[in-house]
């Protein structure tokens, strides 16, 4: 079993299709592979599965924190790379390299 995503303690157990933390009581679903807390696929704003090397388009304007850069809606990004974490897509644009959430992208 893996650590609880809420309290980060490792006292977890499987209960049917869910994992349960014995310390805080948090429950989360197990994935198809049987590994808790991991998603089997990264999906775009329309629900399409993304893969490394795909081209995507931004579905809304995104302001980049700490800069005056705004990534414009409709901008095409080529050759994405999927990474672990909250922001799933690593990409390179004319404005620089960014890590973006897949919910702001659609497959081109």
Question: For residue 19, what pLDDT is reported?
Answer: 87
Question: For residue 11, what pLDDT is reported?
Answer: 84
State the DSSP string of the chain: ----TTT--S-EEEETTEEEETTT--EEEB-TTS-BT--S-EE-TTSPEE-TT--EEESS-EEPTTSS-EEPTT-EE-S-EE-SSSS-EEEEETTEEEEE-GGGEEE-
Instruction: Grade residue 40 by pLDDT with cuts at 50, 70 and 90.
Output: low
The tens digit of pLDDT for each residue in 16-37 reads 888 888 888 888 887 644 444 4
Question: For residue 32, what pLDDT is reported?
Answer: 45
Q: What is the pTM of this model?
A: 0.61
Domains of the chain in start order, with CATH, are 1-40 (2.20.25.10), 42-107 (2.30.30.40)
The tens digit of pLDDT for each residue in 71-103 reads 999 999 999 999 988 889 999 998 899 999 999
The tens digit of pLDDT for each residue in 43-78 reads 899 989 999 999 999 999 999 999 999 999 999 999
């Amino acid at each position: 079993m893996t650590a609880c995503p809420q309290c980060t303690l490792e006292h977890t157990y499987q209960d049917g299709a869910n994992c349960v933390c014995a310390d805080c009581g948090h429950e989360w679903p197990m994935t198809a592979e049987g590994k808790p807390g991991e998603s089997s696929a990264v999906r775009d704003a329309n629900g399409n599965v993304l893969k490394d090397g795909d081209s995507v388009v931004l579905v809304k304007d995104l302001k980049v924190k700490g800069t005056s850069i705004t990534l414009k809606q409709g901008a095409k990004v080529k050759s994405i790379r999927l990474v672990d974490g909250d922001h799933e897509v690593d990409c390179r644009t004319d404005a620089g390299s960014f890590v973006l959430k897949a919910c702001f992208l659609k497959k081109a």
